[in-house]
Structure 1
Amino acid sequence: MLIAQLPTDEELRLQDLFSYDILDSESEKEFNDLVELAGQICHCPMSMITFIERDRQWFKARLDPGPRETTRDEAFCAHAILQSDVMIVEDARLDERFHDNPNTLDPTSPVRFYAGAPIVSPTGYNLGTLCVIHNEPRKLTVEQERALEILSAQITRLLELRAKNKRIRNRAEQIIDLKDKTVNAVLADQDQQQQQIAEQLHEQIAQEAAACKLFIRMAEDSEEQRSDYLHTANTYLEQIINDLRKLSNKINPSVLLSIPVEDLLIDHVRKLNEEVSFELKLKVTGSSVALPVEKTVMLFRIFEKWVQVLKKRSAVQQVNIHLVLTDRIELAVEDDGEKKDFSVAEKEIVAAGIDARVRKAGGTIKLVTGISNGNILSIEIPV
């Protein structure tokens, strides 16, 4: 048995092969179909797509049942990748390279006929072959040989498409991850800014408020200077209002302005599904809308708080969220958990701060409990 020589550019060829991440991948219909077609065209019971690695021959697809890999030393395809055209062995017993090959001498399914068309990458490296095998000596017609070449070229296109799709998926995952991190960072930054504002309010505005109260008391005690004291108190009051406006304007998460509210919830639902024991399903209908920042954050917080409430309930297996976007936002969250007493559920809403947030946004809230398949929380907020 003659062992095939290594291509002169073997290391570069292997790098090209590894770049497709095809080795040890799962079965794929597109490759299986090409193998089946090759077998039918060439009237061979065995047909395979093989890739030649450093020490093994690995089968991406094969028409007959058999192992997923063999040693490279015994592989006919290791010889086929050394040439640019279809390698044809009409009778392996008469070929000095294969007459004593274990595949030729196999008593149950001996290889007699072999034809392999190299799978050539766009950079010119022979990565493997599309081959057909028969246990009797045969010949190929010119048309059959050409068909193998066409099909092997199609395999190259599949490899390229597969690699491109993987790059797109990876890029999409990176973008989604970046959006998650951006949104979370913005929300965290807003929380931090709100904390800073609270501290400034406590130190700065509280002093102005105390001064305002002092002058009001002085006005009560002094009829003669009452007008002056009230004027001074009013000046402090105006300063308090201006400071509040100035500090509020510091909250400006501009990134959220460019993210439609439905995208925010879609990303958040995807993330929460990895954390909760029940399944969250989101349905969005209507046109895309970008809410004012404060309403976007408020809606996000309401949804987050209600999910936290549902996590504490028993028997919740699925939560359906329906977001309707028109001239107002309608959010319905339906769970299939235990039927809650209305007063208990109402207390949960108040305790989670949901009721206060909705009212502050000029919205309405409705709770339906004890229905046949669980409970529904409905919220409407004007855009």
Structure 2
Amino acid sequence: MKTADDAIRRAIIEDYRVLGEAPEADLQGLVQLAATVCGVPTAVINLIDDRFQHQIAAVGIEPAVCSREDSMCAVVFRKPGHTVVTDASLDERFAGNPFVTGEVANVKFYASSPLITPMGVPIGTICIFDEVPRELPEDESAALALIARQIVDVLELRRISRELGESNEQLENFAAQVAHDLRNPLTALTGYIELAADVPEVADLPAASRALARAESVADRMSGMIARLLDYARVGGSPIRRTAVDVEPLVASTMEDLRSAGEDNGAEVTVEASVPVQADPTLASVLVQNLVGNAVKFAGTGGRLPRVVVSVGTVASGVRIVVDDNGPGVPVAERELVLEPLERGSNAEAPGFGIGLATCRRIVESHGGRLGIDDSPLGGARIWVVLPSA
């Protein structure tokens, strides 16, 4: 049975973009180092998703792909620390495995160290093995753990370097568009609100005064968010000020704003938030506004009554925010596309400029987290976010 953690692991592995490629020189060097230091003929770097084990670099065998069910490392990679087995044919976890029985290989000695991402997600192993039983001295065991950390460092460096190269131009365009399309009209709107509030006839009408005060508060909050996001996009990220943030009031505020603007589409919104998230309060507010606003907007297309469920709970790697809707969903082929700036996919019926989800992903990644899109049990889209708990 696939789990939420499997979906997160799959997304992280795909983001490294090493599957199906020739072994990276740095990774090949590290796997060779593991074999040499530990004195074994075979060493392999494995990435393990929800279906397969991918050998992305190897010494002593040709890198290949096998099913997760046949993998020895899949049995232990999610557990912390090392696994050392002197003779796998005598270990009940591995005795019937095809890599041990001779069907695929004749492994006796087996040892592995998990590959743990900065988010705390186990994605695979560095493993060593031999066809004869043996022990693993303490110093060699420590070296294997160090090599595992170096492998993750190489994968992260590749990902960050690639994303920086791809995103610089997009961020500059994004900042310019936000400045032109939002900041100037908002400044004018704030001025008109202040002028209206000073009119004596308006001041004598309590309902009008309250409406203007509410509008001014919303405009001020929007101005602050826009200014922060502009700085964030231009310089590559302002310092993140993490604190415990309760998601439920952010959802309530978002829906109040949508109702005030006549854009709530009569949506039924349910919140199931059992834990706070550790995040920058301003950016968390923008994140929730975009996620919930998008769900209400797209679920309301086609004349349907939108239903949105926001849930927050813990997973192994941190806190997970899920926004489910009963809209048309996002086709699998477009799920990466709609996370890019100015991209809306094939659903052109709903209004918008295609910057909401791109903003969300950038906010999430600035916190060291991940964002993905799946099918929702409500029939539409499920947008999930995982933020590290620390």
Q: Report if TM-score (shorter chain) is over 0.5.
A: no
Structure index of larger Rg: 1
Structure scoring higher RCO (CA < 8 A, sep ≥ 6) equals: 2
TM-score under structure 1 length normalisation: 0.42
